[in-house]
Amino acid sequence: MLKECDQHGYFRGDSCPVCGQPSKFLMDDRELDHLGRILTGILRHFPDRYHLTMDEHGWVSLPQIVRAVSQQHRAYHWLRVHHLVAIAETDAKGRYEVRDDRIRATYGHTLEVALDLPTENVPDQLYYPVTEEEAAIVLEVGLKPSDRRKVHLSKTAQDARNAGSVRRPNPVILEIDAKRARGDGLVIMRAGKTVFLTDQVPPEYLARVPTPPSDAAE
């Protein structure tokens, strides 16, 4: 459930996590999930499906999204800009960026966009999940984008494990020497709260993370 507290802003849940007040209702979980999927689709994959224009940096007009979504999905006749801002600001993964009356996805694009994201405060090590079959190949040739425009790296080994588990239980985790790679000129950008983007990672910056004993025992 998505709500708005007069004092502490947007939040997901029944009561404000700061003051505990019930607050103003914005949308239920079903609407939140569906609108989130629509918004992600527009900003990452298919703005043209809603007859929307995206600029070279991935930005799309919020009022135009509201108009397009409410026209194609009549059940959302009540949709306003602040509903989309609330979805973006309460997203746990930090998948969106809002600036003035525009919004964009910070990662996950299949469209060609020139993301101008921050490059400071990047951890010295980052992580990436692969399957056992992929591990030897990647360690030999490096990481390159597959179904996305950028290589998506994770902040921690557990973040990478969580991402990789969508494809296969107990993925192999690779560690990226981000400090050395950046020192050699590789550009790494901060995207979501736990996601970092780069064009590719040469093999000399990759190493396999030993499998935890608990995973090995299973």
Q: Is 88 in the same domain as 134?
A: no
Is residue 118 in some structural domain?
no
Which amino acid, residue 134? E
With respect to residue 168, please indicate whether it lies within any of the assigned structural domains.
Answer: yes
- Taking the C-alpha atoms of residue 175 and residue 153, their distance in angstroms, rounded to an integer, is 9
Q: What order of strands is seen across the sheet that includes strand 125-130?
A: 189-190, 195-198, 151-154, 125-130, 172-177, 206-208
The Cβ of residue 57 has, within 10 Å, a number of other Cβ atoms equal to 12
In a domain, 116, yes or no: no
Q: Is residue 111 part of a domain?
A: no
Residue 148 shares a structural domain with residue 74: no
Count up the domains in the chain and report the number. 2
* Enclosing domain of residue 151: 125-217
The reply to whether 79 and 157 lie within a common domain is: no
Number of H helices, E strands in the chain: 7, 12
97 and 168 fall within a common domain = no
Predicted TM-score (pTM) of this structure? 0.82
Residue 114 lies in a domain: no
Domain boundary among 76, 105, 134: 105
Question: Per-residue confidence of the chain (218 residues) as pLDDT tens digits?
Answer: 999 999 999 999 988 999 988 889 999 999 999 999 999 999 999 999 999 999 999 999 999 999 999 999 999 999 999 999 999 999 988 999 999 999 999 999 999 899 899 999 999 999 999 998 999 999 999 999 887 889 999 999 999 999 888 777 889 999 999 999 999 999 999 998 899 999 999 999 999 998 765 544 44
